[in-house]
Amino acid sequence: MAKLTMPFHQVLLLLFFIFSCLFFVTIQSRHHYGHSEQEQFHIVSHVSLPPSLAPEAAVAGPSYSVFNVLDFGAVGDGVTDDTQAFKLAWDTACQIKSAVLLVPDGYSFMLQSTIFSGPCKTVGLVFRIDGTIMPPDGPDSWPRNISKRQWLVFYRINGMSMQGAGLVDGKGENWWNLPCKPHKGVNGTTMPGPCDSPVVSTTETYTLSGPSFFEKQILSGFLNIYHWVFLMQAIRFFMSSNLTIKGLKIKNSPQFHFRFDACHGVRVESLTIKAPAQSPNTDGIHIENTNNVQIYNSIISNGDDCISIGAGCYDVDINNITCGPSHGISIGSLGINKSRACVSNISVSDSVIQHSNNGIRIKTWQGGSGCVSKVEFSNIHMEAVRNPIIIDQYYCLTKNCSNQTSAVVINDISYSNIKGSFDVRSPPMSFACSDSIPCTNLKLTQVELLPAAKGRTVANPFCWNAYGTVLKQTIPPVYCLMEETNATIDNTLLCG
């Protein structure tokens, strides 16, 4: 048999071809499984950058790719700063058509104040939290150059789902103990001292249709459209739409646990939110300038409102909430600093409020304008609740607020099948309406509230400048509502 021979230059050419192929495969493999160490840590900003090409992800089923934060350098020991790994995972998932950003079970991830920005190319982006995420432990642990006014912000996101069996731990204990907080003084008064968060209020309405100066300031935490002390809040969605929040546990936020500003199409379901009853300003869910909202099947106990509805909200459906201990479910406060506030088409139903300072409440400041209308409270059970039903148009934190003639109009409020027990320290029903503009078209039917402690003197329901109808006799009887006549101010026109 003839021996096959190959010229030396052809051997070299063949070897070069083989090594070139191996090098190409190595590079592709590296791009498939993750960034290099240099690529992982070269970004210094905590604001999400425009998406850039990154490693491919494992495929989850026929249509979704999974981006595990561990693959982007996260450690998950509860001590290491994993912010940049989360941002790299977000920037990668944000440009993929169908993606899951995975926070895996069995790890605790510490994140600094961060903005996850869109818009994304993803259709139905899933932010899945199965592990634990947490901020630095109190204000003293935060870097000086990072905002302490908000923690995790999702900005201009459309069609995202945040879900999972994990935990968001806000580590709020050291924030609650700041000397400016209202529980620190005698009888709950505020003591002098720094809060590292300014009191910021806006008295004008700004149209946030693009990345304006004010929009950037709100994202930075320097403006607060809720007119409130702006301490660090856990999770905030801003100018986003078609959101689903489901199944998560969140506890001990320094202030609000979830907050939605200028959003459209929000569905919140099966959440568990917990903070101590004495933790100040720890609202469970707050919405502001947000519409088409559904909040269902959740358990909330905290130191402030379970759910608070701010100005500019409409088409809100709240159902099957177990609330308390807390300050109840509230509309407001509205109209601070003579601002205009409009809230309409609100339904709260099939819920339990227990061992709380308030039940179902509408609260407005004197001097404001606007309207609260078309609100229905139905099928709500009260357990030892102080102020089960309350309208307060003289809301004031200092008790030194001056009387003013203008007020937010309150019209067309319905209370149906509200039953249970109340704390006898306050009347079971209180309708304290503005001197100048009465509450109108209040409707009560099947309201039965009994004292939680037997043998105690019970105050009668209280009314001031309140007009309405008792469709079916209440317990205790409400005799103080005035009948509406043609001489009554037509608040329906004021709400138009």
Residues tagged active-site: 327
Alpha carbon distance 108, 455 (integer Å) = 51
With CA atoms as reference, report the closest residue to 54 among 116, 119, 101, 111: 101
Contact at 8 Å (CB) between 286 and 256? yes
| Pairing between β-strand 161-163 and β-strand 64-68 as defined by DSSP bridges | unpaired
Q: Which residues pair with residue 396 across a beta bridge?
A: none
Residue 8, C-beta contacts closer than 8 angstroms, at least 6 positions apart: none
